[in-house]
Amino acid sequence: MTVSRQAVHLTSHLDDTYLRQALRHDVRTGLTSTPKWLPPKWFYDAAGSDLFSRITRLPEYYPTRRELSILRRWATDIAARSGADTLVELGSGTSEKTVLLLDALAATGRLRTYTPVDVDAVTLDDAARRTSRRYPDLVVRAVCADFERHLALLPRRGRRMVAFLGGTVGNLAPSAREVFLKELRATLGPGDTFLLGADLVKDTRRLVAAYNDGAGVTAAFNRNVLHVINRELGADFEPEAFEHVALYNPRRDWIEMRLRASRPMRVWIDALGLPVSFAAGEETRTEISAKFRPEGLRRELVAAGFLPGRHYVDPTGDFLLILAHA
């Protein structure tokens, strides 16, 4: 389905049937596994997107501020090195950071098209309209899609820079990350580039605090996946009966977010005809957030067929952007 509104074009690869089937598959698979897990993509309904926006403004949550500081300082250099006339942004969300890249690309005189890609159609449409108003000569081709499944369906017009910001790449397990990077590389042609944002390994206390804020916003965000399952699949979770847990796994260099059952309980998921039992203290993993070392990230890019170029680190050494060439 494609909808055009002046310079805004919205293409959706995620109809209601697809989303329902994907949610049912993930919930059934994750909650019948040992240990239990749920994928983080289901955090992001309207309430979850709002909670995450609040998280990015918390004092404990440094990644957004650090990435913004890099973009403020280096967006002009990134735009010049990319040579791009088209910006494709995976997991674009509200597209707040995108303005810095679009301004830099527009200043080169080459910018023609912006393609934001996100699973949340409402957030995507709002961001696309807002971007179009700010850049009236820009063609905005928004795509509602799952970047783990629909990379091959993204538009291939122009000389593209694909941006994957926010450290979201860390939400992918190593095997899934390897597949994602190789599939993305296969969609890129000569002259295309890939701008990747990644959170770096650092003091464990700071890492854990970023995912366990004192105001409890991240805890509400974590529990929101249970609200989504209740609403969409007719489940009877009691979200407040699950405690938010954030811990660092030093062997894998990643943060894990979990939901811990505060007591024994049995949950019925009506749409699946599925009863799920939880023991007291049993934990369900809801997210991983891998942290990287620059040399390790470069190796992963090379293995996927990229040629890593300039990388940019904020002054505190917390966060990295790397521009890789196809």
The CATH number of whichever domain residue 170 belongs to comes to 3.40.50.150
Residue 13 lies in a domain: no
Residue 15 lies in a domain: no
pLDDT of residue 15: 84
* Total Cβ atoms within 10 A of residue 83: 15
CA angle (225, 228, 232) in 5-degree steps: 145
3-state helix, strand, coil in the chain (%, to 5): 40, 30, 30
Residue 18 lies in a domain: no
CB 119 within 8 A of CB 93: no
pLDDT of residue 93: 76
Same domain, 84 and 159: yes
Residue 2 has pLDDT above 50, yes or no: no
Work out how many domains the chain is built from and give that number. Answer: 2
> Which two three-digit tokens encode residue 186?
């296969």
* Total Cβ atoms within 10 A of residue 47: 15
Q: Is the peptide bond before 35 cis (omega within 30 degrees of 0)?
A: yes
Same domain, 140 and 235: no
Strand ordering across the sheet containing 113-118: 2-5, 8-12, 139-144, 113-118, 86-90, 160-164, 193-199, 319-325, 307-313
Same domain, 174 and 319: yes
Residue 22 lies in a domain: no
Same domain, 105 and 223: no
Same domain, 117 and 149: yes
Residue 149 lies in a domain: yes
List, for residues 251-266, the tens digit of each pLDDT value: 999 999 999 999 999 9
Residue 10 lies in a domain: no
pLDDT of residue 120: 82
Same domain, 72 and 142: yes
Residue 175 lies in a domain: yes
CA distance 108 to 194: 18
Residue 293 has pLDDT above 70, yes or no: yes
Which of 8-17, 239-248, 252-261 has the weakest average pLDDT?
8-17
Same domain, 117 and 235: no
Q: Find where tokens 């799952």 sit.
A: 146
Length of the chain: 326
Domain range for 278: 34-58+212-290
Q: Does this model's pTM top 0.85?
A: yes
Same domain, 195 and 67: yes
List, for residues 113-126, the tens digit of each pLDDT value: 999 999 888 888 88
Instruction: List Cβ neighbours of 226 (8 Å cut-off, separation of 6 or more).
Output: 235, 237, 239, 242, 259
